[in-house]
Amino acid sequence: MSTIYEKLATVVIEGDSKQASALVQQGLAEGLTAKEILDNGLIVGMGEVGARFKRGDMFVPEVLMSAEAMQAGLQVLRPLLASSGAKLIGKVVLGTVKGDLHDIGKNLVGMMCEGSGFEVIDLGFNVPPERFVDAVKEHKPDVVGLSALLTTTMRAMGYTIKALEEAGLRESVKVMVGGAPVDAEFAQRIGADGYGSNAVAGQELAQQLVGAA
C-alpha cells in the first residue's frame, strides 16, 4: 500500500486540513486515482476517527477537525470523482426539520457520511416537509436524514415522513432520524427506518440502510 494512504489517514485523524489537501494533490501527481485516494486514505482515516469516537478516545471538537481535514481532501477529489463516474456507496439528503435552527449534529453526520463514501445533499436547517419532498424528487437519494434538537420540533419529523408518503415517495427512500430528544421508540412511532444516537451511529445506520455495512 502506498505510504501516502497511511499519511493521509493519519492527517485526517489528526485534523490537519492543510496537509490533507497537500497529500491528496501529491497522490494525484504520483498517478493514484481519485477513488483510490478516497477509499484507501480519507475513508480509512475517518473510519478510525469513528472507532475512536465510539470508544470515547475522541470527542466532538476533535471529530469536527478530522471531518474538516477529510473535507479539505475531498474538495480536491470531488470534481475528479464526478468526471470519472466513480460509484459512491449511496446518496443521502440531510436536513434539520422545520422550526429548528440547530445544525452542528446534522453537519457532523453529513461529514461522517461523506467520509464513508456517500454523496451528501445538505438542505440546511429549518427545512419544511415540502422541501424534503422536492429534494427527494430532484436528487433521488437512497436515504433521507432528519435532525432535531428541540422537543418542540420533533413532530416535524413525523410530518415530513407523512409528506413523503402523500407524495408517493416513501417507498423509494429510507428515512433515519436523530438528535438529542429523539430515541428509537420515537423513530419507530413516526415510521422512520432507523435512529442514530450520534454522528457515528448515524453514518453507520446510513451504511446499513444501503447494504454497505
Mean pLDDT for the stretch of residues 75-98? 88
Domain coverage including residue 37? 3-84
pLDDT tier, 177 (very low <50, low <70, confident <90, very high otherwise)? very high
Based on the domain organization, do 63 and 161 belong to the same domain?
Answer: no
For residue 85, the SS3 value is: coil
Based on the domain organization, do 105 and 132 belong to the same domain?
Answer: yes
Give the separation between CA 61 and CA 100, rounded to whole angstroms: 22
Q: What are phi and psi of 131, to 5 degrees?
A: -75, -35
Q: How high is the pLDDT of residue 193?
A: 97
Alpha-carbon radius of gyration of the chain: 17
Q: How high is the pLDDT of residue 213?
A: 63
pLDDT tier, 68 (very low <50, low <70, confident <90, very high otherwise)? very high
pLDDT tier, 25 (very low <50, low <70, confident <90, very high otherwise)? very high
Q: Mean pLDDT lowest for which of 1-5, 45-49, 89-93, 147-151? A: 1-5
* pLDDT above 80 for 21: yes
Q: Which of 63, 84, 105 is the last residue of a domain?
A: 84
Q: Mean pLDDT lowest for which of 28-37, 76-85, 143-152? A: 76-85
Based on the domain organization, do 66 and 100 belong to the same domain?
Answer: no
Q: Which of 84, 99, 128 is the last residue of a domain?
A: 84
Would you state the torsion angle of the CA atoms of residues 137, 143, 148, 149, taken in this order, to the nearest 10 degrees?
A: -150
Based on the domain organization, do 73 and 104 belong to the same domain?
Answer: no
CATH number at residue 29: 1.10.1240.10
CATH number at residue 116: 3.40.50.280
pLDDT tens per residue across span 34-58: 989 998 999 899 989 988 988 999 9
* pLDDT above 90 for 81: no
* pLDDT above 60 for 117: yes
Q: Which of 68, 84, 100 is the last residue of a domain?
A: 84
E strands, the chain, are 90-96, 118-122, 143-147, 174-178, 194-196
Q: Percent of the chain at pLDDT above 90?
A: 75
Mean pLDDT for the stretch of residues 156-160? 97
* pLDDT above 70 for 2: no
Based on the domain organization, do 103 and 204 belong to the same domain?
Answer: yes
Based on the domain organization, do 77 and 170 belong to the same domain?
Answer: no
Based on the domain organization, do 194 and 97 belong to the same domain?
Answer: yes
Does the reported pTM lie above 0.85? no
Based on the domain organization, do 68 and 139 belong to the same domain?
Answer: no
pLDDT tier, 62 (very low <50, low <70, confident <90, very high otherwise)? very high
Based on the domain organization, do 20 and 106 belong to the same domain?
Answer: no
Q: How high is the pLDDT of residue 111?
A: 87
Q: How high is the pLDDT of residue 79?
A: 87
